[in-house]
């Protein structure tokens, strides 16, 4: 019965745009994608999807805000067509190349400082010809590298440290892999 309630509570937190990790501390996550021919999309929250699914449009850039009045608790970087991995950026910064017609291919996201001790961050990429890949966590890469495949969408969720999240398969494919599994 305890396990059932734990799963229900985790599910509710995943669907919410906020995560409470201490009695007086609530974290608000929002993020948005810059999409080919569409520009910046509206911000979405914890557990939601930025980008497009089924439209064949590339994500070109990403902006993440982790709001509680602190900028230095989340970092992220992107792997970009013809550029490779960019450096780590903090909340409120853009990764990628908005408007330069270059595809995002992969992303890494990590929590730092106090947040890294009490929360986990999970994220997964929807990629060209492969659909949704498995969940990556805490700085692991999600997407592809060297396969010339566009990242089309990204889903991010922050959960309390130790929450069991079903990974659902491999989250990242590198050049040496011949094919991304098709859906």
Statement: residue 20 has pLDDT above 50: yes
Q: 11-20, 64-73, 94-103, 143-152: which range is least confident on average? A: 11-20
CA-closest candidate to residue 27, choices 79, 78, 64: 64
What's the confidence (pLDDT) of residue 120?
A: 96
Distance between first and last Cα of the chain: 35
The two structure tokens encoding residue 45: 């929250």
Q: Is the pLDDT of residue 1 over 60?
A: no
- When pLDDT is cut at 50, 70 and 90, the band that residue 16 belongs to is very low
Exposed / middle / buried, residue 85 (Cβ in 10 Å: 0-12, 13-18, 19+) = middle
pLDDT at 34: 98
Please check whether residue 149 is in contact with residue 178, taking contact to mean a CB–CB distance below 8 angstroms: no
């Amino acid at each position: 019965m305890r396990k059932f309630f734990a799963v229900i509570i985790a599910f509710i937190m995943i669907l919410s745009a906020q995560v409470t990790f201490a009695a007086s501390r609530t974290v608000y996550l929002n993020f948005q994608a810059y999409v080919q021919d569409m520009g910046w999309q509206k911000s979405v929250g914890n557990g939601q999807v930025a980008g497009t699914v089924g439209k064949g449009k590339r994500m070109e850039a990403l902006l993440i805000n982790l709001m509680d009045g602190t900028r230095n608790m989340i970092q992220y970087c992107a792997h970009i067509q013809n550029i490779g991995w960019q450096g780590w950026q903090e909340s409120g910064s853009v990764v990628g190349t908005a408007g330069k017609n270059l595809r995002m291919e992969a992303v890494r996201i990590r929590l730092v400082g106090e947040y890294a001790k009490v929360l986990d961050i999970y994220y997964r990429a929807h990629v060209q010809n492969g659909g949704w890949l498995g969940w990556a966590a805490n700085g692991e890469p999600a997407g592809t590298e060297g396969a010339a495949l566009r990242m089309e969408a990204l889903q991010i969720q922050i959960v309390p440290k130790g929450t069991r999240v079903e990974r659902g398969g491999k989250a990242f494919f590198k050049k040496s892999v011949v094919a991304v599994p098709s859906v």
